[in-house]
Chains A and B, each alone.
Chain A
Amino acid sequence: MSSWLDYTINGLIVGNVYALVAVGLALIFGVSRLINFAQGSIYLVGAYIGWVAVVQLHTPLPLTIIVVAAAAALVGLVIERFGLRPLQNSVRIAPLLATIGISFVLDQLVMLTFSPNPRALPSQLPDVRFQVGGGTIGPLDLLIAGVGLTSALLLFVFLRYSKLGWAVRAASQDRDAAMQMGVDVNRVNQAVFGIAAALGGVSGMLVGMYYNQIDTAMSLQATLKGVVAEVVGGAGNVPGAVIGSLLLGLVESYGVAVFGTSYRNLFAFLLLVVVLVLRPNGLFASARQAPPEPLTGTFIAPSRPLRIPRWALLAAAAIFALLPLLPVSFYVLQTLINAWLLGMLALSLTLVAGTIGQVSLGHAALLAIGAYTSALLSLSAAVPVGLAIIAGGLMSAALGTILISPSFRLRGHYVSIATLAIGEIVSLVILNWESVTRGPIGISGIPPLSLFGYDLVSPASIYWFSFAVMVALALLQARLLGSHLGRSFRAIRDDDIAARAYGLSLNRYKSLAFIFGGFAAGVSGGIAAHLYSYINHETFNTQQSILALTVVILGGLGNVVGAVVGSVALVGLPELFRIAAEYRILIYGIVLLLLVRFRPQGLLGTI
């Protein structure tokens, strides 16, 4: 019995921490209808500033909290001023992508400054536990509860009694009306980002102290948890975010109590998907509401795609096909093989995110499904590798589509959240389903690529194989875009309400897009598995999803040639300039930010 009380206390404390993140997300969503994917990075920054303050500057606890809050708030203000304000008049997808880019840049900066190794963050509090009822509670628990309550109180007073707080509330109720009444939206945004960042930073520091450990992986987890809590409570609803956070904390804590620690996140993301499907407006949303008619303003920037003449494409294909015959180094072929594998993933994502407008952030999960299917079939069932890869593609198409289908009724930013969560669920299932996936050990000894009984071991043969597969997939996709499905997908992207009015079923066509795209991604994952010979649940991670998204934006949404060009550019250029691996992700983040700001239609244009 006593342990249940402990789990409850633990759940509430963790919930309290989530609340600090989620309240910030809710404030930002309230005034700018934006899900700030950089919130977790601010939390990460807060944790590391806390570490600097405690371990190096030896600041007393109250000062530590103030330093962290102030520094994090500053980061928030910088993000608002330089990352988001310039995008105010751009399409709705732009700020979403910008926050993703900012998050990658911040995470990488922290990682480069402090190294990716975990560090201990001492709590500066006496290590005693008090007996409460059947459980125990420590000073840190009380501190977290105290910080949570104080922040809530301060926020309440600010929103209710200050002039700026009034402006924030007005802007979140009706932005246009507030602007007409003279509310300065920039000031409101500043206030909201500053507060959200301060809360997020303090939250990161407290979590670091609670687990006495900080590391750079905290960022994505925090964003995900905060978003889960916020969506459960109803996006933009501040009290809802608090309740959603406590609920999430409890669900996780009880889940851990019953099933074990490795299930913690699985419960969080399942909760998210269930809420998104059953009550997309949150648990506390009022009666059903049709979106009022306006909702115009496309999600995606209008553009005129660049037409590349057919002979130029043929010439380029011929040059790349003949490349292994020229005296090029093994290293060049290796790099291009990576580009072709990424190209297949990008083809898949450009169809899903670009052509039909479902900005998926969990696309690497499709790689994982294809890779595991192909690896396991060839290892355990001795299926020939070529067939196993095709089976991987089919499995990815089928399973991926089924898993993503709960997100089909969502729009815009919610799709991104749902796909991110579904991607995490896939990786957690791979981790926990040991009897099939061999769990954390991963799968080793995957047979090498082979075709009709011949092993492809020379770099040239692997190069040709992956290039040929990618070209075949690209041609198939180009053919698809030229059919009635191409225009149907694009119509759904441009205006799903008008599309439905003309008989286009969203479920049907989103499924078809994911089936087609899932196949390409699954084949890419399958080939990768046989190339790497070892895979585990972390081989295909969010970084690859974001890299693919950057490729897609770089090439131009929905643009088949652009996806290939983007892959070669993003894989090849860092190699060409010999950029060290740890700086690459930083560069991808910066590229994404610059693209969103200066060329949202990408190099070759949206199709």
Chain B
Amino acid sequence: MAPMLTLRGLTRRFGGLTAVDAIDLDLAKGELVSIIGPNSAGKTTLFNLVTGHDRPDAGAVLFEERDVTALSPETLAARGIARTFQLGRVFANLSVMDNILIGAHTRLRAVRPAVPVIGPLIELGLALLRPASVKAEEERLREEVKIILARFGERLLPRIDQPAYSLSYANRRRVEIARALALKPRLLLLDEPTAGMNPSETAEMQGLVAELKAEGLTILLIEHKLEMVMRLSDRVVVMDEGKKIAEGAGEAVRNDPKVIEAYLGHGLSGAAEQESAA
């Protein structure tokens, strides 16, 4: 079967620094691949390149066998790629409900008919008039948001109408993941979903990611917590200074001398970061 996501020679330079250096990667449908590496290895930059937030200087990104290199983030979202952000980017003044409804934006059909040129004006008109079809769609999505939120137990449901800025840090991370799920993604990219979470919250998150994987979702995961990486991943890719230095099954990669050296060479920064962040 053809891979879902293919990266070929993907490269991004910032001035003299090569943040992502000729990365090749194949991700099959339903696979969960983790990307690990010390700080500043280029992991987030790689995500930015895949999701259209940044353009590569060289190389190509193929999604479902189509070249999507340097397409805009909004186009890629419409194709089914969802991501979360390392530092958390919820919409601070929007309620939890609205945050997650934005996640479902690409799935609005009734209110956003695919009409060229005057499409936006029709969208404006439908938003003001709100015929039955538009109302029904909105209702359906609101119900769906509640189902997604139920995945997080009682963490978010009681706070569904609160603005996101009033949530705890961990809850904001959950809102981000819920928002990504609302897109019904074909490919999900998670950038350190457990950063700043305590061990029990981390375990909860790990359970959720495991569930998503079991449901067949294709996931690319950046994570510093090796325990979690080892348990969840089908494969692990190790990056250092922009380059892929190792790839393979978790245990094999973990014992790879190059990987150990990369972590030691950087003063165990990855592990240290993990402790201090938690």
Interface residue ranges, A against B (CB under 8 Å): 286-290, 293-294, 296, 298, 300, 302-304, 476, 479-480, 483-485, 487-488, 490-491, 493-495, 497-505, 508, 511-512, 515-516, 606-607
Nearest CB of chain B from residue A83's CB, rounded to whole Å: 26
Partner of B74 from the list A289, A476, A485, A504 (CB cut-off 8 Å) is A504
B85, A485: Cβ atoms closer than 8 Å: no
Residues on A with C-beta less than 8 A from B128 are 476, 479-480, 483
Residues on A with C-beta less than 8 A from B14 are 289
B74, A498: Cβ atoms closer than 8 Å: no
Not counting A487-B102, A500-B77, a sample of 15 additional A-B residue pairs whose C-beta atoms are within 8 angstroms of each other reads A290-B48, A296-B89, A302-B93, A480-B128, A487-B98, A490-B93, A490-B98, A498-B89, A500-B73, A502-B77, A502-B105, A502-B106, A503-B74, A503-B183, A607-B93
Q: State the CA gap A479–B165 with chains docked (Å).
A: 25
Residues on A with C-beta less than 8 A from B15 are 286-287
B91, A495: Cβ atoms closer than 8 Å: yes
Residues on A with C-beta less than 8 A from B92 are 298, 302, 494-495
A501, B105: Cβ atoms closer than 8 Å: no
A290, B108: Cβ atoms closer than 8 Å: no
Q: State the CA gap A485–B93 with chains docked (Å).
A: 15
B77, A503: Cβ atoms closer than 8 Å: yes
The residue in chain A whose Cβ has the minimal distance to the Cβ of B141 is A484
Binds A, one of B119-127, B234-242, B247-255, B267-275: B119-127
Given A487-B101, A498-B85: A512 touches B165 (CB 8 Å cut-off)? no
Q: State the CA gap A288–B12 with chains docked (Å).
A: 12
A488, B130: Cβ atoms closer than 8 Å: no
A480, B77: Cβ atoms closer than 8 Å: no
Residues on B with C-beta less than 8 A from A505 are 72, 74
Asked if B54 is at the interface of the complex by the 8 Å CB criterion, the answer is yes
A485, B120: Cβ atoms closer than 8 Å: no
Partner of A484 from the list B74, B91, B111 (CB cut-off 8 Å) is B111
Nearest CB of chain A from residue B154's CB, rounded to whole Å: 23
Residues on B with C-beta less than 8 A from A499 are 91, 102
A293, B44: Cβ atoms closer than 8 Å: yes
Q: State the CA gap A295–B94 with chains docked (Å).
A: 18
Residues on B with C-beta less than 8 A from A500 are 53, 72-74, 77
Residues on B with C-beta less than 8 A from A298 are 92-93, 165
Asked if B90 is at the interface of the complex by the 8 Å CB criterion, the answer is yes
Nearest CB of chain B from residue A149's CB, rounded to whole Å: 32
A490, B94: Cβ atoms closer than 8 Å: yes
Asked if B51 is at the interface of the complex by the 8 Å CB criterion, the answer is yes
The residue in chain A whose Cβ has the minimal distance to the Cβ of B165 is A302
Asked if B87 is at the interface of the complex by the 8 Å CB criterion, the answer is yes
**What are 12 A-B pairs with beta-carbon distances under 8 A?**
A290-B55, A294-B87, A302-B163, A479-B128, A480-B127, A485-B123, A491-B98, A494-B91, A500-B77, A501-B85, A502-B179, A508-B120
Q: State the CA gap A289–B55 with chains docked (Å).
A: 10
B102, A504: Cβ atoms closer than 8 Å: yes
* Number of residues on chain B facing chain A (CB within 8 A): 47
Closest 3 CB pairs of A and B: A503-B77, A483-B127, A503-B106
Residues on A with C-beta less than 8 A from B48 are 290, 293
A484, B105: Cβ atoms closer than 8 Å: yes
Residues on A with C-beta less than 8 A from B83 are 501
B163, A304: Cβ atoms closer than 8 Å: yes
Q: State the CA gap A512–B72 with chains docked (Å).
A: 20
Q: State the CA gap A260–B127 with chains docked (Å).
A: 48
B89, A495: Cβ atoms closer than 8 Å: yes
Specify which of A290, A485, A502, A516 lies most central, judged by the most chain B CB atoms within 10 Å of its CB: A502
Residues on B with C-beta less than 8 A from A483 are 111, 127-128, 130
Q: State the CA gap A501–B74 with chains docked (Å).
A: 6
B89, A491: Cβ atoms closer than 8 Å: no
Q: State the CA gap A515–B123 with chains docked (Å).
A: 12
Specify which of A287, A290, A501 lies most central, judged by the most chain B CB atoms within 10 Å of its CB: A501
Specify which of B82, B93, B106, B130 lies most central, judged by the most chain A CB atoms within 10 Å of its CB: B93
Partner of B54 from the list A287, A290, A296, A476 (CB cut-off 8 Å) is A290
A485, B124: Cβ atoms closer than 8 Å: yes
Residues on A with C-beta less than 8 A from B127 are 480, 483-485
B73, A501: Cβ atoms closer than 8 Å: yes
Q: State the CA gap A279–B251 with chains docked (Å).
A: 49
A606, B93: Cβ atoms closer than 8 Å: yes
Q: State the CA gap A495–B259 with chains docked (Å).
A: 36
Nearest CB of chain A from residue B213's CB, rounded to whole Å: 22
- C-beta contact mask, B64-93 vs A, less than 8 Å → 1, else 0? 000000001110011000110111111111
Asked if B138 is at the interface of the complex by the 8 Å CB criterion, the answer is yes
Asked if B103 is at the interface of the complex by the 8 Å CB criterion, the answer is yes
Specify which of A485, A515, A516 lies most central, judged by the most chain B CB atoms within 10 Å of its CB: A485
Residues on A with C-beta less than 8 A from B120 are 508, 511-512
Residues on A with C-beta less than 8 A from B55 are 288, 290
A491, B53: Cβ atoms closer than 8 Å: no
A484, B101: Cβ atoms closer than 8 Å: yes
The residue in chain B whose Cβ has the minimal distance to the Cβ of A479 is B128
Nearest CB of chain A from residue B128's CB, rounded to whole Å: 6
B91, A498: Cβ atoms closer than 8 Å: yes
Q: State the CA gap A551–B198 with chains docked (Å).
A: 45
Residues on B with C-beta less than 8 A from A479 are 128, 130
Nearest CB of chain A from residue B240's CB, rounded to whole Å: 19
A484, B124: Cβ atoms closer than 8 Å: no
Nearest CB of chain B from residue A348's CB, rounded to whole Å: 15
B183, A502: Cβ atoms closer than 8 Å: yes
B108, A484: Cβ atoms closer than 8 Å: yes
The residue in chain B whose Cβ has the minimal distance to the Cβ of A487 is B98
Nearest CB of chain B from residue A443's CB, rounded to whole Å: 30
Q: State the CA gap A24–B85 with chains docked (Å).
A: 37
Residues on A with C-beta less than 8 A from B73 are 497, 500-501
Q: State the CA gap A527–B174 with chains docked (Å).
A: 50
Nearest CB of chain B from residue A469's CB, rounded to whole Å: 17
Q: State the CA gap A142–B271 with chains docked (Å).
A: 64
Q: State the CA gap A503–B185 with chains docked (Å).
A: 12
Residues on B with C-beta less than 8 A from A508 are 120
The residue in chain A whose Cβ has the minimal distance to the Cβ of B78 is A503
B138, A484: Cβ atoms closer than 8 Å: yes
Residues on B with C-beta less than 8 A from A287 are 15
Partner of A293 from the list B85, B130, B166 (CB cut-off 8 Å) is B85
Residues on B with C-beta less than 8 A from A294 are 87
